[in-house]
Amino acid sequence: MAISNATFSDISGAVSDIFAGMGAADKAALQAQGLRITAQGTLITAQGTRLNAESLRTKAAGDIAEASNYDLASTLAEANKAYTDQSTRLQQSQLNRNITQTIGGQQAGVAASGFGAGGSAAYLLRDSQAQGALAKGVLAQQGVITEAGYEQQAQSYTTLANAGRATAAAEMDMASKTDTIATEQDALAVQQQQLANQTQDVGNKEADMDFFSGAIKGVSAIASIFI
């Protein structure tokens, strides 16, 4: 036989296959390598995710601690409110005493000055009573305002504590979920490793096939020469 086109075609096919086989192997190796790298990356990501989860747990622990402090502050504000209430009552009682003493002193002074309780004496006493009532009112109002401030403070702290606790809970939840993601990422990495291996295998097999096809075609080419 002579060398014909087919021979050449076979030879080229064989060569091509041989080279294809060689390329497929390389390609598969590369792809497998890539996949392995990806798997490695996924593993690293999972590690990061785990770290993130750990961070969230740490933050949640901080928030819980902060909420505890706010609880303490709220309790203190409530205590201040109660104290203010008591203090106001006490001061009002003292003011009552002072007013009574003042008015009594005025009455005694008026009597000692030789006068009855009417006329200017009555105006003075009424003025003192009015001033006493006003002072008591002012005191009461100051107390109420202070109590209201403390109450608002307590409420604010309670709100902050609750918010801290809610945040910590959310963070713990997120950490948990992040852990899950990391685990999933680990699994993905394994899958990616497996895929790389499979890709390598496929590539090797494809190379083998190409080599075999090339061999056949080479043989065929040779054979065509000889045929």
Partner 1 sequence: MGSSSFVWTSFTGGEISQTAQGRFDQPYYKTSLNVCLNGIPLENGSWQRRPGTRHVAPTRGGKTGKLISFSFQDSFPYQMEFTDGFLRFTTGPSLVMTNDQQSIVAISSANPAVVQTASAHGWSTGNSVAFNSLGVNNPLLQNRQFTITVVNTTHFSIADAITGASIDGSTLGTFASGNVTRILEIATTYNSGSWSGLRSVQAETRTVLLNGTKPQILQVATAPTISQFATFTFSPSDFIDGPYLDPIDGSVVSSSALNGVVTLTFFFQAYDSTIAYNIGDFVSSGGVGYQSLTSLNQNNTPASSPSNWKVVNGGTPVNNGQGFQSSDIGRLLRLFSEPQLWNSSSTYTTGTVVAYSDGIGGFSYWTATGSVGAGVQPGTSTLWAINATGAQWTWAQVVSVSGSGLISPVSAIGSLVSGGGIAAAFDGNTGKSFSSCATFFTNIQTWPVWSAVVWGVGNVCQYAGTAYRANVTIVPSPPFDAWNSGIAYGNGQTVTYQGAVYTCIRTETFFAGVGIPPTGYSALGLTSAMFWTFIESISALPPNLAPSLWTSLGAISGASEDVYVGQHYSSPSAISLVTLYPSVDVGLANVPSDSVQNGTYTINLRAKNSAPSAANDGTVLATLTLGNNIAPITLISTDQVSTWSYVWVEITASYLQPLPDDGSHIFVIKIGLSQVQFYAPNVNNGSVITAQIRGNALLYNQTIRTWQLGVYSDTTGWPTCGTYHEGRIWFGGVVSNRFDSSVSNGFNGIELDFTPTGPDGTVSVSNAISYICDGEDTNQILWMTPDQQGIIFGTQAGEWLISAPAQGALAPTNIKAVRVTKIGCANAEPRRAEHTLLFIQKFSRKIMEYFADVFSGKFSAPNLSERAKHMTVNGVAEIAYQQELAPIFWCRRNDGALVGATYKRDTLTTSQGPTIIGWHRHQLGSGRRVESIAVGPSHGGNLDSLSLITNDTNSGVRHLEIMGDLLDESFILTDCAFLDDAITPSSTLVQAGPTGGPFGSLLINGLWAHNGKKVTAFIAGLDCGDYTVSNGSITVPFGDGVSGGTGSGLFTAALAESFQAVAGETIPAVIGFSYNSDGQLVRPVAPADTGAQTIGFAKLGRQHRASALLFGCVNGSISFGTDFTKLDPAKLRQPNDVQYPVNVLWSGIWRDTVNSLLDYDGMISWRISRPLPATVIVVGGFDSKADI
From the number of C-beta atoms within 10 Å of its C-beta (0-12, 13-18, 19+), residue 217 rates as buried
Q: Is-contact 99 128, C-beta < 8 A?
A: yes
Amino acid, res. 166: A
Instruction: Say if CB 79 and CB 152 are below 8 A apart.
Output: no
**How many residues sit close enough to partner 1 to count as binding (CB under 8 A)?**
33
**Least distance from C-beta 158 to partner 1, angstroms?**
20
Least CB distance to partner 1 at residue 131 (A): 8
Query: Given the complex with partner 1, which of 6 and 124 has the nearer CB atom?
Result: 124
Least CB distance from residue 136 to partner 1, whole Å?
5
Binding mask 95-134 for partner 1 (x = CB under 8 A): -x--xx--x-------x-xxxx-xxxxxxx-xx-xxxxxx
Which one, of 1, 2, 8, lies nearest residue 221 by Cα?
Answer: 8
Question: Distance between CA 157 and CA 59 in Å, rounded?
Answer: 19
To the nearest whole angstrom, how small is the minimum distance from the Cβ of residue 170 to partner 1?
36
Q: Where does this chain bind partner 1 (CB under 8 A)?
A: 96, 99-100, 103, 111, 113-116, 118-124, 126-127, 129-134, 136-138, 140-141, 143-145, 148
